[in-house]
Structure 1
Amino acid sequence: MERRRMTMPGVWFDELSVGQRFDHPIRRTVTDTDNLLFTTMTHNPASLHLDAEAMKDSEFGQIIVNSCFTLSLMVGVSVGDTTLGTAVANLGWDEVRFPKPVFIGDTLNIVTEVLELRDSKSRPGAGIVTFRHEAWNQRGELVASCKRSGLQRKKPAD
């Protein structure tokens, strides 16, 4: 039986270069349902994310979107252009920052940059890539950023 090689939409490790940027074409407006489901599914009872009436009197005057949802969305949007089908494992997060809050109705634009590439010592067919992900709202404010390291497959030999 002949095995077909699938075309991967993501980028192979050896197709990446330090400084390469991905301005992801998918923009995403955060909804109340996104925030509510994520917050309750992770058992976070903070009124900051769930109680609109209580938050009316806060310094922000409204609910703030759960920052862990923002982090997940930021990285998730990047997958199709960078690692879909080529990732082996997520290795870690570093320098996670949320300089401005995200509110219900904010539309996020995600940008990814390749910061570092190195061959894996334990897996000859893979390398370790470090990305910087950034999320910007419709007002041009940086609302989230992080460094993410992952193990990514190299392009198979023909």
Structure 2
Amino acid sequence: MTKDIFYEDFEIGHVREGGSRTMTETDFVIHAGHTGDFYPHHLDVEFCKTTEFGQRIAHGTMIFSIGMGLQCGDINPRAFTYGYDRMRFIKPVFIGDTINTVVKIKDKKDNPKNPTRGFVTEQIEVTNQKGELTLVCEHIISVEKRNQ
């Protein structure tokens, strides 16, 4: 479903929650195949027994990708992703963990190079089933202004 949301419609402080998803071994293997990241931290059970976590940890890029997907909802034809800033992997995610995503509108500013658009910064937080923060980043979107 599409929903037109213009720059002026975004309110700083507005929060929306995405869905949730439980990480599986299949997720780990498929992500490794897609990215070529076969490091033992993600796939080698015996190696991981010797690490501080004692088990396989999810690829940070997988948690980012799935976390961003969880916050997607209606298609907004007035906006597109401009980029991501300040990404941090705070806590590891393991097979069997369920992650969810919360989005908070953090900032808005005019686009100095294009007066018909503005930038909206969303604070993205991905947490596990215990409510622990696992990933945080800023998602910058370029949004069309109304009446331009």
**1:40-55 equivalences in 2 (<5 Å):** 40-55=33-48
- TM-score, scaled relative to structure 2: 0.87
Structure 2: unaligned runs, 5 residues or longer: none
Matched residues, number:
148
Work out whether 1:153 is the aligned partner of 2:144: yes
Letter in 1 for 2:53: F
Shift of 1:67: 0.5
**1:4-153 equivalences in 2 (<5 Å):** 8-9=2-3, 11-24=5-18, 26-80=19-73, 84-88=76-80, 90-153=81-144
Q: Deviations over 1:92-129 (max 9, x none)?
A: 22221112100011111211011111222333442211
SS of corresponding position for 1:79: coil
Shift of 1:154: 3.5
Structure 1: unaligned runs, 5 residues or longer: 1-6
For the structure 1 residues 42 and 114, does the alpha-carbon distance in structure 2 shift closer, same or farther, using more than 3 Å as the test?
same
8 Å CA contact 2:70–2:100 kept in 1: the answer is no
- Alignment root-mean-square deviation, CA: 2.1
Q: Deviations over 1:43-83 (max 9, x none)?
A: 112110111222122221111000011111122222216x6
- TM-score, scaled relative to structure 1: 0.82
